[in-house]
Structure 1
Amino acid sequence: MENLKAFYIHLTVFTLVNIMLIAINILTYEQSGHWWFFYPLLGWGIGLVSHGLSVSSFGLFGPDWEEKKIQEYMEKENRNE
Structure 2
Amino acid sequence: MEINPTKILSEAEMHYQKAKKKAREIRSFYINLGLFCVLIPVIIGINLSFVPQFHWFWLSILGWGTGLAFHGLATFNFRPFVNSNWEQRKIQQFIKEDLEREQAAKYFEEQ
Query: Which of 42, 66, 83 is 1:46 aligned to?
Result: 66
**Count of residue pairs brought into register by the alignment:** 75
- Runs of at least 4 residues of structure 1 off by over 6 A? none
Alignment partners' CA distance in 1, 2:66 and 2:56? 17
The corresponding residue for 1:15 is: 37
The corresponding residue for 1:35 is: 55
State the Cα RMSD in Å.
2.7
TM-score relative to the length of structure 1:
0.69
Q: What is the one-letter code of the residue matched to 2:62? A: L
Task: Give unpaired runs (5+ residues) of structure 2.
Answer: 1-22, 103-111
Q: What is the one-letter code of the residue matched to 1:10? A: N
TM-score relative to the length of structure 2:
0.53
Task: Give unpaired runs (5+ residues) of structure 1.
Answer: none
The corresponding residue for 2:91 is: 72
Q: Sequence identity of aligned pairs in percent?
A: 30
Alignment partners' CA distance in 2, 1:6 and 1:55? 9
1:17-62 residue CA offsets vs partner (Å, 9 max, x unmatched) = 21110110121134xx2111000110110010000111124x1277
